[in-house]
Amino acid sequence: MQHIKNILNKHLKQTGLSKNIETALIIEEFLNFLEKEFGSIILKKIKPLYIKNGILSLACVSPAVVQEVNFKKEFLIDKINQKFRGEPLKDIKFIL
């Protein structure tokens, strides 16, 4: 008899949903780190769009926000990579 956890993991991998779930968790954790580092006001000025090939694309409202987050970019990437297996984030791309 198989445990439900194993059955669910197998089904998620087969349907490709596990990657989508991991991406959503990474983005959620990234937003948590942003809020801790910059305060809740930053969440109104940045919107994560997607992760493709390990690059997180962020929509930002101004160059000042980009500069502020870019200053701690490596720190944020390291925090995410410590939390998740492997190296899910390699870089952050800013879109104005």
Residue 76 and residue 10: Cα distance in Å, rounded?
31
**What pLDDT score was predicted for residue 94?**
97
Inform me whether the pLDDT recorded for 8 exceeds 80: no
Which residues, at least 6 apart from 44, have a Cβ–Cβ distance to it below 8 Å? none
Number of domains into which the chain is organized: 1
Give the domain extent around 32: 4-95
pLDDT at 55: 96
- Residue 12: pLDDT over 70: no
DSSP the chain: ---HHHHHHHHHHHHTHHHHHHHHHHHHHHHHHHHHHH-GGGGGTEEEEEEETTEEEEEES-HHHHHHHHHTHHHHHHHHHHHSSS---SEEEEE-
pLDDT for residue 25 is more than 80? yes
Supply the CATH number for residue 90's domain.
Answer: 3.30.300.180
More confident: 6 or 90: 90
